[in-house]
Amino acid sequence: MLDTALLRTFMEVARAQGFTEAGRRLGLRQSTVSQQIGRLEDAVGRRLFVRDTHTVRLTADGEALVEFARGMLELEERARQHFAGADLRGRVRLGAGEDFVISHLSDVLAAFVRRHPAVDLELTVGLSGFLYQKLDAGELDLVLAKRRPGDTLGRPLWRDRFVWAGREGEVPDPAKPVPLVLYTPPSISRSVALEALERHGRPWRIACVSGSLSGLRAAALAGLGVTVQPRAMLPSGMAEVPHLPPLVDVEFVLAGPGATGRGPAAALAQAIVDSAVRLQGAA
């Protein structure tokens, strides 16, 4: 009943949250993407997306189809590799931010290891700036990390908005410098926070510096100050903090030479791309 070619287009629209961007990534015209989604909706007899002039969102049936489509595409890939007679072997070195590691990335990596037992997977966890440095040094094949909109490094997977975050009910005193709980440099969220405060002339002080998300969370929940996090990936127990300068968007990308071509790194890159919808939220 379900054409896997249509399912691939469906998954790309879900990841890109738009028909035009999905078409660009797939090398198809926007009208072709719309036609393929229409055929898929006819096949399942359900509406899969809610569309208006600005946004494209999955319906409840669309969210259900994401899981079915992922399984069907994974099964097709396994069958293709089996009959091609070439089991993947080798090594792939992946770098990822801690916020991914404590969310659903572990499920994606576990499925990849089960599917490709002859591949040695090495995972490095760190801040985006640190991971990009290791990528530039040739020490990583793939990096799953953040970038600012407008940067060109990597393949965009989805976009979110940075928000101020702290313990529930936290409101910084406007008469005092904003107490900040920040990553050590180089850090995108650290730079975004300081630039926003400087741009609006808001005094600040650094109350805590940590190299880990768990350290930031502990400090923020203890009331030491506020931090900056992607809205969809707020750590457990933390909430948005109001009455502070607005922050910019953030993009999540997959970068590195292993993201193209063939081999274990390319296979892992495709597995991450196929799971982008699941990775967008915290576990």
Q: What is the pLDDT of residues 109-157, one digit of tens each?
A: 988 888 888 899 999 998 888 898 888 888 999 999 888 767 777 888 8
Q: What is the pLDDT of residues 237-281, one digit of tens each?
A: 899 999 999 999 888 889 887 766 678 888 899 888 888 777 775
pLDDT at 84: 54
pLDDT grade for 29, boundaries at 50, 70 and 90: confident
pLDDT at 85: 42
Which tops the pLDDT comparison, 133 or 163?
Answer: 163
Please state the pTM of the whole predicted model: 0.67
129-166 per-residue burial string, b: 16 or more CB within 10 A, e: under 16: bbbbeebeeeebbbbbbbbeeeeeebebbbbbebbbbb
Range 59-64 average pLDDT: 92
